[in-house]
Structure 1
Amino acid sequence: MPATDLPLLIEAARAAAETATRHIGAPLDVREKPGGQGPVTSADLAVNDTLAEVLLSARPAYGWLSEESGHDPTRMLAPSTFIVDPIDGTRSFIDGADIWAHSLAVCDGGQVTAAVVYLPLVDKLYTASLGHGAYLNGTPIAPSGRTELNGARVLATSPNMAPKFWPNGVPNVKRSHRPSLAYRLCLVAEGRFDAMFTFRETWEWDIAAGTLVVSEAGAPVTDGKGGALRFNTEGGTVDGVWAGVSGATCRIFPSTD
C-alpha cells in the first residue's frame, strides 16, 4: 500500500461529501434496484462518479468494487482494489436525516489496508490504516473492552435476535439501531457500543472500511459465524459480520468440537 493511500481516501471522502450535500433538498430520482437491493438516487450515482474520478485518476492500476458500479472482472487481478459505498444509509439520506456515510477502503491480498468512514452532516471522520491504529477526527479511539454479552449495548436489527441464531439462548442485551453498517462498526470502535452484528449475507462495500476501523481500534471482528473476513472476493459478499464482544467467547456460535 502506498503511504499516500489514506490521505487519498480522506481527500476522496471530502469530495464525496461536497457532491452529496449539493443534492440535499433537490429531486433525487429515487429508484428501486432489482432483486430487493434497496433504493438508489441521483446522489448515490453522482457521489460514485466523484469517488471514481478522485481515486482511479490517482491509482489507475487499482481495481474497483462499488455498490453503484457494474462488475469489474479484472479487480481481483489488480495489485490493490478500492471498495466503496458512495452513500451508506441511502434510505436515511432520502428521508433527510443526518446519519449516512461515505465508506471507502483499499484492499490488498484480501485484507483491508486503509479505510475512511465519513459522516459529513455530523462531522465525524473515522480513519484507519493497517498497523497504525484508528482515529475519529484525528484523535485515537478504543473499544469498550467488555467481555460479557448479557447486558451489553449492541447495534443490531430485530431479525438478528431470532432464536435460530442463538444455539445457547438469546442474550439479554440493550439493542439499538443505526441506518449505516459502516457507522455501526465505527461506534463499536470508539466504545459507544459494545458490539454490532448481522447474520445475513453482507456486501463488502458496506463493511470493508468499518472492519479495519474496528480492528485497528482494538476490537475483535469476524464474519457472522466467527470466521476470518476476506475482501475483494469474486461474489463481493461476506457471511455477515460480528464486531466487539467476542461471539466465540460468549459461546454464541455452535461448537465445532
Structure 2
Amino acid sequence: MYNMERLGTEFSPELVELANVVATAGEMVRVSKIVPSGITDVPGKGLVTTADISSDEYLRTGLQKIYAGAPIVSEESGQALDGQLTEAVIIDPIDGTRWRKDGGDLWTVTAAVVKGGELFQAVTYRPETDELWYGQLGEGAYSLTRNGRKKLKTGSETKLEKVKVGVGANMSSLATRKAMSGLLVGLVERSRGPYVLASTALELAWVAQNIVLAADVHPHAKSWDTAAGKLFVNEAGGVATGWNGNKDIFTPGLVAAANIELHRQLLDLVYDCYQA
C-alpha cells in the first residue's frame, strides 16, 4: 500500500488514494486468467477482455468514493467526448491489452484527474514490474520502485534527428494506414526512427523519465491514452499537447516532446507528412 511517506508529503491525500486504487486494479489484472472466450476484438477499438471489464468496474467504484460527483471517462464505457469537461476522472483499465493477453509486461493501468479544466493529478502503474508513476499539477512528477522514488526530468536533446520517437495509431482501416505511412516515412528521415510500444501511457512515462524515448506522437489517441502521461511530461519539463499543438484534454491526438524545441520540430513534421 502507498502512503504519504512513500509518495511525498507535498502531495494530497487524494493522490495517495488514487495510487492505491490504480495499483490494486493493476494487481487484479496481473493475476487474472484471460481465456479465449473472454476476448472480443472490437472494430475500430481493438481487444477487450474480461480483465479490462473487471478493472474498469473496480476503478469506477473506488474512484467514485474519492472524487464524488466527478464524471468518469473510460475507454471501456465507449464515451467519445467532442467537447471539454472541467471536472472529470479519466481511466484506462488496461493500456496495452494485447501485451497482457500475450503474457508481456508492457501494459499499464492509468488514471488522471481533471480539475478546473486542467490536468491536476495522475497515476500510471505497471504491475509486472511494480513501478508507479505519479504527479500533481505544480508539484512535479515521480517514479516509484522498490528502490525508492525519483523525480522525473525530460531529456535535454533538442535535435529531432538524434532522438527516438514513440508512435501510436489505430491501424484498423486502409485509409488510416495510408495516412500513417507518410508520418512514418517522415520520422525515419528526420529522427532516429519510430518506436512502437502499443502502450501510449508507458511511452509517455518514458518520455517524462528520459528513458529510450524523447518524444511521442499519436494522431488518434484518446484522453484515456494520454491524460496521465501529458501531466507527467509537462511536470517533468517537457511539452505535451494535442495533435495541432492545442491544450485540449479530450480532443483526439497527441504530440509530446522532452522540450519545446523538439515539440516544434514534431509539429512541423506532422504538418508536412501526415495527411488524414
TM-score category of the 2 structures, normalised to the smaller one: 0.7 to 0.9
1:183 to 186, 193, 202: 202
SS of equivalent to 1:107: strand
Separation in 2, partners of 1:142, 1:38: 32
Are residue 170 (structure 1) and residue 173 (structure 2) matched?
no
Alpha-carbon spacing, 1:7–1:243, altered in 2? closer, same or farther (3 Å): same
Q: Which stretch of the first structure deviates more once superposed, 142-151 or 194-203?
A: 194-203
1:84 aligns with 2:84: no
Residues of 1 paired with 2:60 and 2:158: CA distance? Answer: 40
Report 1:29-108 matches (<5 A).
29-33=38-42, 35-71=43-79, 80-108=87-115
Following superposition, the deviation at residue 62 of structure 1 comes to 1.1
Secondary structure at the residue paired with 2:233?
Answer: helix
Distance verdict in 2 for CA 1:72–1:201, change over 3 Å: closer
Residue 150 of structure 1 aligns with which residue? 161
Cα pair 2:112 2:121 within 8 Å, conserved: yes
What is aligned with 2:227?
208
**1:125 lines up with 2:132 in the alignment:** yes
Amino acid at match of 1:211: K
Whether contact under 8 Å (2:239, 2:263) holds in the other structure is no
Shift of 1:244: 2.5
Following superposition, the deviation at residue 169 of structure 1 comes to 9.4
1:228 matches 2:246: yes
Instruction: Work out the CA distance in 2 between the residues paired with 1:82 and 1:122.
Output: 25
Which stretch of the first structure deviates more once superposed, 172-181 or 60-69? 172-181
In the alignment, the residues of structure 1 paired with residue 135 and residue 199 of structure 2 have an alpha-carbon distance, to the nearest angstrom, of 18
SS in 2 for 1:54: helix
What displacement does 1:132 show? 0.6
CA distance in 1, matches of 2:197, 2:91: 19
Question: Contact 2:183–2:270 (CA<8 Å) still a contact in 1?
Answer: no
What is the CA-CA distance between 1:230 and the residue it aligns to?
1.8
Instruction: After TM superposition, give the deviation of residue 157 of structure 1 in Å.
Output: 5.3
CA distance in 2, matches of 1:216, 1:110: 16
Query: For structure 1, which segment, 57-66 or 207-216, has the greater mean C-alpha deviation from structure 2 after superposition?
Result: 57-66
Q: Following TM superposition, by how much is the alpha carbon of 1:120 offset from its aligned partner in structure 2, in angstroms?
A: 0.9
User: Match for residue 238 of structure 1?
Assistant: 252
In structure 2, relative to structure 1, the CA distance for the partners of 1:72 and 1:91 (3 Å cut) is closer
> Secondary structure in 1 aligned to 2:139?
coil
Determine if contact 1:143/1:194 at 8 Å carries over to the other structure: no
Matched to 1:44, the amino acid is D
Superimposed CA distance per residue, residues 55-87 of structure 1 (whole angstroms, 9 cap, x where no aligned partner): 1023221111001125499x967x621100000
- Contact preservation (8 Å) 2:34, 2:101: no
Q: Which runs of 5 or more residues in structure 1 are unaligned?
A: none
CA displacement, residues 110-162 of structure 1 (integer Å, 9 cap, x when unaligned): 32100011001012100110001110102112111110001212222596874
Aligned counterparts of 2:53 and 2:187: Cα–Cα separation in 1 = 43
2: CA distance between counterparts of 1:46 and 1:164?
36
State TM-score, norm by structure 1.
0.84
Structure 1 range deviating more: 8-17 or 155-164:
155-164
Aligned equivalents of 1:249, 1:126: Cα separation in 2: 27
When you count helix as a share of all residues, which structure comes out higher? 2
Deviation of the 1:4 alpha carbon: 2.6
Q: Percent identity?
A: 29
1:7 to 4, 9, 16: 16
| Corresponding pairs, count | 246
Q: Would you identify which runs of 4 or more consecutive aligned residues in structure 1 move more than 6 Å?
A: 158-161, 165-169
User: 1:15 & 1:164 partners in 2: Cα distance?
Assistant: 38
